[in-house]
Structure 1
Amino acid sequence: MTAFTRAPRRKPARRIAAVGLVAAGALFLAACGDDGDDMSGMDHGSGNSSASASASAEAGSASFNDADVTFAQMMIPHHEQALEMAQLADGRASDAEIKDIAGKIEQAQDPEIKTMKGWLESWNKPTATESMPGMDHGSGDGMMSDADMEHLKGMKGTEFDKMFAEMMIDHHNGATTMAKDEQKNGKNADAVKTAGDIVKGQSAEVTQLQSILDRL
């Protein structure tokens, strides 16, 4: 009876031990399997990182288009000429409003030139090109010829005020046309916003300049 009662106790012990060995083996195999999966996961992870970096680079390059580049490259010399005209007002202009507008042009357009040059540098594009299509007097961009600029330099008082107003109206209208093209075709958010600021600001100055001409 004693042996009979002990036998069932030994059998569960053996079974438990066997189950333990099986479990341990399973855990070992699972661990080996996990190591392989982890390595595989690491490989996929590194691949995904490369893909993400590539996608980010593409996204960065896609943040601007040819219209943005053309807008900046053409608006820089356009603004530079407006600054040159505005600087001529010092010592030549006699009308208080003309002097005020000249000052506003310098304050607004000089920072915009620096900003646009910064865009082009970040886009790895030249800030100027040897030949700027359309940047000729009479083409609709409002750019003045060298003869026009020399003529303006020779004016003083009311004569200067009138010529300055006439020339700047044409100049601003040309800039507004270029800026509207950027609003329609540009992709870079900052460039499109700047174009909108140019349209708003220079359209208002055109209205003011025309009112000055009407009273001079």
Structure 2
Amino acid sequence: MRAATIGVPILAVITAVLVTRCVAAGPPSHSAAHHLSAQAQAPIPGGVNGASAPAAAPSGSFNATDVAWLQLMIPMTEQAVLLLDMAPAKTSDPKIAVLSKSLGAGNRAELQRLHELLDRSGVPYVNEHEGHNLPGMVTTDELGLISAADGAAFDRLFAQHTREFLMQSVLVAKGEQGAGGDADTKAFAASMAEAHESELTQLEGIGE
């Protein structure tokens, strides 16, 4: 994942991207902002005569920020769960073994709720960020490197990437609270931010 945080500004960019509903083509960008902005100019496969296909509009109280946040947090959380699942067999620290199970269970529950909210928005889930190296998202390549490590080396990588995921998820959750439209989605973002801030406290001193 990228070390920089994206927070509210990039959540706004993602919102703009989802309004135009374009999917990026080509290799992942090294800049999250550049990459997400480029999505707005890329044609959608399946468009009629090369034209971009229209997006499914959010229904009811949902706005584009709600959808942007949900479609960002789903792949971020999916990748984080894969990382958390590695820990019991790879770590040398009993605290990490216990913490990873707790975080894994919590993130699975959050993932289910994220999908439920997106389903209620009326917008079908599409992984807009597959292959993208975004802040807070553990990439497939990074998961491979982490899996190859053991003991203290694994512990350091686990703590680093888990911490970055939790920090970034708190930032974008606060962006959703400020700019989202659906009350239930904003309330869930608030509860997620609170939970992840608590989990960051639990990570203090681990993997150092």
Bin for the TM-score computed over the shorter chain: 0.5 to 0.7
> Could you list the runs of 5+ residues in structure 2 that have no partner in the other structure?
1-57
Q: 1: distance between equivalents of 2:200 and 2:61?
A: 32
The one of 87, 93, 97 equivalent to 2:91 is 93
1:124 to 110, 122, 125: 122
Q: How does 1:75-114 map to 2 (within 5 A)?
A: 75-114=73-112
Equivalenced residue count is 151
1:67 and 1:186 in contact (8 A); partners too: yes
Instruction: Specify the alignment match of 2:195 in structure 1.
Output: 201
The 8 Å contact of residues 162 and 213 in structure 1, kept in 2 or not, is answered as yes
**Residue 172, structure 1, aligned to residue 166, structure 2:** yes
Secondary structure at 2:88 match in 1? coil
Normalising by structure 2, report the TM-score: 0.66
Decide whether the 8 Å contact of 1:169 with 1:210 is kept in 2: no
Tell me how far apart the structure 1 counterparts of residues 207 and 88 of structure 2 sit (CA, whole Å): 19
CA distance in structure 2 between the partners assigned to 1:128 and 1:104 by the alignment: 28
Partner letter of residue 155 of structure 2?
Answer: D
SS in structure 1 of the partner of residue 138 of structure 2:
coil
Name the counterpart of 1:191: 185
* 1:213 corresponds to: 207
CA-atom RMSD in angstroms: 2.0
- Deviation of 1:189 after TM superposition, in Å, equals 1.7
Task: Extract unaligned runs of 5+ from structure 1.
Answer: 1-59
Q: Distance in 1 between matches of 2:132 and 2:174?
A: 19
Alignment of 1:25-36 (within 5 A): none
CA distance in 2, matches of 1:177, 1:197: 13
- 1:28 counterpart residue number: none
Q: Distance in 2 between matches of 1:150 and 1:63?
A: 40
Could you list the per-position Cα deviations for residues 91-146 of structure 1 after superposition, in whole angstroms to 9, with x for gaps in the alignment? Answer: 111212211221122211112211221222222201224x339x832x4x311232
Q: Give the share of equivalent positions with the same residue, in percent.
A: 26
Counterparts of 1:100 and 1:193, CA distance in 2? 28
More helix by share: 1
Larger Rg: 1
Amino acid at match of 2:84: A
The residue aligned with 1:143 is: 137
Name the CA distance, whole Å, in 2 between partners of 1:166 and 1:115. Answer: 26
Q: Is the 8 A contact 1:82 1:105 kept in 2?
A: no
On the 8 A contact 2:152/2:207 being kept in 1, the answer is: no
TM-score by length of structure 1 reads 0.64
Between 1 and 2, higher relative CO (CA 8 Å, sep ≥ 6) is seen in 2
